[in-house]
Amino acid sequence: MSRKRVAVLISGRGSNMAALIEAAKDKSYPAEIVLVLSNKADAGGLITARDSGIATEVVDHASFGKDRAAFDAAMQKVLEAHRIDIVCLAGFMRLLSPGFVGLWQNRMLNIHPALLPAFKGLDTHKRALEAGAKTHGATVHFVVPEMDAGPIIMQGAVAVRDDDTEKSLAARVLAVEHRIYPEALRLVAEHRVRVVDGRCLINGAPVPDAETLMAQS
Site for ligand GRF contains 13 (CB under 6 A)? yes
Torsion of CA 44, 49, 52, 53, to 10 degrees: -130
Site for ligand GRF contains 127 (CB under 6 A)? no
Site for ligand GRF contains 148 (CB under 6 A)? no
Site for ligand GRF contains 182 (CB under 6 A)? no
Q: How far apart are CB 120 and ligand GRF at their closest, in Å?
A: 11
Q: How many residues bind ligand GRF (CB under 6 A)?
A: 14
Q: Residues 61, 112, 125, 141: which is the catalytic one?
A: 112
- Please state, in angstroms and rounded to a whole number, the distance separating the CA atoms of residues 61 and 56: 16
- Please state, in angstroms and rounded to a whole number, the distance separating the CA atoms of residues 163 and 177: 21
Helix-, strand-, coil-residue percentages of the chain, each rounded to 5: 35, 25, 40
Site for ligand GRF contains 189 (CB under 6 A)? no
Which of 44, 54, 47 is closest to 20 using CA atoms? 54
Sign of CA dihedral 27, 209, 143, 11: negative
Residue 62 is classified by DSSP as G
Q: Which residue from 9, 23, 38, 113 is in contact with ligand GRF, where contact means CB under 6 A?
A: 113
Site for ligand GRF contains 37 (CB under 6 A)? no
Cβ 190 vs Cβ 152: under 8 Å: no
- Residue 112 is among the residues annotated as catalytic for this protein: yes
Q: How far apart are CB 93 and ligand GRF at their closest, in Å?
A: 8
Q: Within positions 81 to 100, which residues make up the interface with ligand GRF, using CB under 6 A? A: 90-91
Site for ligand GRF contains 32 (CB under 6 A)? no
Residues annotated catalytic, as ranges: 112
In the complex, the residues that contact ligand GRF under the rule CB under 6 A are 10, 12-17, 90-91, 111-113, 174, 177
